């Protein structure tokens, strides 16, 4: 039996796992201390819990615990990293490199720095949304400070060639940052071997609480220094002041431990469900998969239903939570479509016919069957209306 509504928007956010809630609970009422209160047991317990979470996250990334900084989420982590490096190293250079398919938290921060006088190179991607490492190498100049390329794309699921890009940056003595928000739990990270100098992600994408995130910052070979963006009591090695969100960090630590424990089985299940969904959707005429068909997230499908407006399709699917690939925004009063879909060559019409399916830990085979049947019926219905309208 399918319980409605069906949630297939796991890229946007995830429900907090009950085991995460259970781990967090005592730190709201019983162990409520401030980690900065070093004179008594309440503070000691809080600090110990935070440091335990820090170690769990460091182990997942093959990093050192002191290289893990806690923030309010990936957006803050990206801002702190990009602005912090730009300001700290501006005497050495003023050039930043990123890609055309990055999340706005990276792209808009880079454009802000561009307005402040930094030089920005936005690399194109191929039709699968993949950055060519050779393009990265060609773009690097004597003034380049940083390359920022996401691990996996939040819209089309494409996995980027992080190892190749990292090797190039390392050889050129350039900092390499990746926004790993969608990649955590889906691909394996070894920041040392992959030559990643900075990495960011959010808790709420991996069944943890909202309002907490991570910034990994390499401490040696090379050491990454940031100009502080939030001043105050000197928390998080002085890079991010503010009273530490102990319950949130405990929840994040638990979420990461669950990701690690279930990594292989969970991704195998997600891949099977995703493939089943795509197998059924392919039976609809004139549909197209967006993104790399092989090197993609285990839980992602971005599908263009040609000739059908995605917003109208979603309006008919009131019992299914999905995301429209058009991702319209207002720019100078004009409607614009997803910069990611535009970057891979989709027309405005195609983008407005695209849906993103995000499967997750609690998705069932019954839900996949239900969604595929509903979409098949609705697409056929809307196309028949369109033909009637043409007549």
pLDDT single digits (tens) 175-188: 999 999 999 999 99
In-domain check, residue 226: yes
271 and 192, same structural domain?
Answer: no
Last residue of a domain, one of 205, 235, 260: 260
- Whether 317 and 239 map to the same domain: the answer is no
Q: Residues 351, 239: one domain? A: no
Q: Do both 72 and 214 map to the same domain?
A: yes
Residues 136 and 187 in one domain: yes
Q: pTM here?
A: 0.94
Rounded Cα distance, 196 and 213, in Å: 18
Pairing mode, if any, of strands 95-99 and 119-123? parallel
pLDDT of the residue at 148:
98
pLDDT at residue 330 greater than cutoff 50: no
CB 195 within 8 A of CB 167: yes
Residue 50 CB partners (closer than 8 Å, separation 6+): 35, 70, 244, 246, 249, 250
Domain termination residue (choose one: 195, 228, 260)? 260
| 116 lies in the same domain as 194 | yes
Is the distance from CB of 147 to CB of 138 less than 8 angstroms?
A: no
Task: State which residues form the domain around 211.
Answer: 18-260
35 lies in some domain: yes
Smallest CA-to-CA distance from 287 within 302, 272, 271 is with: 302
pLDDT digits (tens, 9 = 90+) for 40-54: 999 999 999 999 999
Q: Taking the chain, what is the end-to-end CA distance rounded to the nearest angstrom?
A: 41
- Note whether 232 and 354 are same-domain residues: no
In a shared domain, residues 340 and 351: yes
Distance, CA of 337 to chain centre = 19
Cis upstream peptide for 222 (omega within 30°)? yes
Of the residues 197, 230, 260, which one is the last residue of a structural domain? 260
> Is the pLDDT confidence value at 352 over 90?
yes
> Counting every residue, how long is the chain?
391
> Cα separation of 62 and 64, whole Å?
7
pLDDT band at 390 (very low <50, low <70, confident <90, very high): very low
Report if residue 24 sits inside a domain.
yes
Q: Is the pLDDT at 326 greater than 60, yes or no?
A: no
Whether 329 shows a pLDDT value over 50: the answer reads: no
- Higher pLDDT: 208 or 233? It is 208
For residue 331, what pLDDT is reported? 44
Clarify whether residues 152 and 221 are in a common domain: yes
Residues in Cβ contact with 284 at an 8 Å cutoff, skipping those fewer than 6 apart:
305, 375, 376, 379, 380
Strand partners, 187: 184
- Flag whether 1 is in a domain: no
245 shares a domain with 97 = yes
Q: Is the pLDDT of residue 254 over 50?
A: yes
Q: pLDDT for 56-71, tens place per residue?
A: 999 999 999 999 999 9
Q: Tell whether 246 and 323 lie within a shared domain.
A: no
Same domain, 200 and 162: yes
Res 233: pLDDT? 84
Q: How does residue 237 score in pLDDT terms, banded at 50, 70 and 90? A: confident
Could you count the other beta carbons within 10 Å of the beta carbon of residue 247?
23
Distance of CA 391 to the CA centre of its chain: 45
By percentage, how much of the chain surpasses pLDDT 70? Answer: 96
Greater model confidence, 243 or 155: 155
Q: Is 221 left (phi over 0), alpha (psi -120 to 50) or beta?
A: left
Q: What is the CATH number of the domain that holds 211?
A: 3.40.640.10
For 76-133, write each residue's pLDDT tens digit: 999 999 999 999 999 999 999 999 999 999 999 999 999 999 999 999 999 999 999 9
The total domain count for the chain is: 2
Residue of 188, 315, 328, 335 marked active site: 328
Q: What is the average pLDDT across 6-21?
A: 98
Which residues, including other chains, have CB under 8 Å from residue 295's CB and lie 6 or more apart?
128, 130, 158, 159
Active site residue 110: no
Q: What is the CATH number of the domain that holds 331?
A: 3.90.1150.10
Sheet holding 300-305, edge to edge: 287-290, 300-305, 354-358, 323-324
Give domain status of residue 198, yes or no: yes
77 versus 326: the higher-pLDDT residue is 77
pLDDT at 384: 87
Q: What proportion of the chain, given as a percentage, has pLDDT over 90?
A: 89
- By the 8 A CB rule, do 289 and 301 touch? yes
Average pLDDT over residues 294-313: 96
Name the nearest CA neighbour of 213 among 175, 257, 255.
Answer: 255
pLDDT of residue 391: 43
Residue 372 lies in a domain: yes
């Amino acid at each position: 039996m399918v319980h409605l509504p069906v949630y297939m928007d796991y890229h946007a956010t995830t429900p907090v796992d009950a085991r995460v809630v259970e781990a967090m609970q005592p730190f709201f009422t019983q162990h409520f201390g401030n980690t900065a209160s070093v004179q008594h047991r309440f503070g000691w317990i809080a600090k110990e819990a935070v440091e335990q979470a820090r170690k769990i996250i460091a182990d997942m990334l093959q990093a050192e615990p002191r290289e893990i900084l806690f923030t309010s989420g990936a957006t803050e982590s990206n801002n702190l990293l990009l602005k912090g490096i730009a300001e700290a190293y501006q005497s050495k250079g003023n050039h930043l490199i990123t890609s055309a398919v990055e999340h706005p938290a990276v792209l808009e921060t880079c454009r802000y720095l561009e307005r402040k006088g930094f030089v920005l190179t936005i690399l194109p991607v191929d039709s699968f949304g993949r950055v060519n490492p050779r393009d990265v190498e060609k773009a690097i100049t004597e003034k380049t400070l940083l390359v920022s390329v996401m691990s996996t794309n939040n819209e089309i699921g494409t996995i980027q060639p992080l190892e190749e890009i990292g090797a190039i940056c390392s050889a050129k003595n350039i900092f390499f940052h990746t926004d790993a928000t969608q990649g955590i739990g889906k691909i394996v990270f070894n920041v040392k071997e992959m030559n990643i100098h900075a990495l960011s992600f959010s808790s709420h994408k991996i069944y943890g609480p909202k309002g907490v995130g991570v910034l990994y910052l390499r401490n040696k070979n090379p050491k990454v220094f940031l100009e502080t963006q939030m001043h105050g009591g000197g928390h998080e090695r002085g890079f991010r002041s503010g009273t530490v969100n102990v319950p949130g960090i405990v929840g994040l630590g638990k979420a990461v431990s669950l990701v690690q424990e279930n990594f292989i089985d969970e991704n195998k299940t997600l891949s099977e469900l995703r493939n089943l969904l795509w197998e059924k959707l392919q039976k609809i005429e004139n549909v197209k998969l967006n993104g790399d068909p092989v090197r993609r997230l285990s839980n992602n499908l971005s599908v263009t239903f040609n000739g059908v407006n995605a917003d109208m399709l979603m309006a008919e699917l009131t019992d299914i939570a999905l995301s429209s690939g058009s991702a319209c925004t207002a720019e100078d009063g004009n409607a614009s479509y997803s910069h990611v879909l535009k970057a891979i060559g989709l027309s405005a019409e195609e983008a407005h016919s695209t849906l993103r399916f995000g499967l997750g830990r609690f998705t069932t085979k019954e839900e996949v069957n239900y969604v595929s049947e509903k979409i098949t019926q609705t697409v056929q219905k809307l196309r028949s209306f369109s033909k009637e309208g043409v007549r």
